[in-house]
Amino acid sequence: MKSAESNRDLKKRVGYAAAEKVEDGMTIGIGTGSTVAFFIESLGKRVEQGLSIRACATSYQSSLFCEEAGIPLIPLRKLDRLDLAVDGADAIDPDLNAIKGGGAAQTVEKIVAAMAARYILIADADKLCEYLGETFPIPVEIIPDSLAYVIGRIRELGGDPVLRMARYKDGPVVTDNGQFILDIHLSGKKDIFAYDAALHHIPGVIETGLFLDMAAEVLIGRDDRVDVMTK
């Protein structure tokens, strides 16, 4: 079992490796999460050394980190394409499909991923899985008033949805968009593309945490190296 310190080292190794992918003059998208925090840390050091870039962030958390690191930010609403986007993942299958949304930011993260000419995921080896849904539930952002209806429809699709509750406040997690998160637990392997399509057809569902056929490259942090996975 990895210690908290060794897991931190893996995240730092892969976050710093991803920062080296950023080139002068790029407009980039920056994701959310503990691994991305190290990407931001390293990228800030490169900006201090003269790297010229523009960036947009996928969450308030990442925006604050970027400001502290001295990374120039531009509002996402002013951009329609990105040269590169880098983000973490909660689970990654052998085909580079991923689950994201552990930080409740998957809707904006998916917009940024779609805008990017090149989308890179960064993670430690513990995030690799045989199929999506095996190790991590599928987060779905929903309109609060649709809660009971969406739960019923997801159960009809063979999922066990659980409303995500906040840890340091009373009540459910509320996203940066003002919505709720359902975490869907699956009992076994599914045709994940068909399942994602079915979820998107439920009124009240805003976006899922299934990132399918989006990543061009995955960087995996291991004890002594960073592995690169490509299609």
Question: Catalytic site residues?
Answer: 109
As a dihedral over the C-alpha atoms of residue 200, residue 86, residue 177, residue 62, rounded to 10 degrees, the angle is 160
What is the distance of C-alpha 18 from the center of its chain? 15
| 8 A C-beta contact, residue 29 and residue 116 | yes
Under the phi-then-psi rule, with left for phi > 0, alpha for psi from -120 to 50, and beta for the rest, what region is 105?
alpha
Burial 208-217 (b: 16+ CB within 10 A, else e): bbbbbebbeb
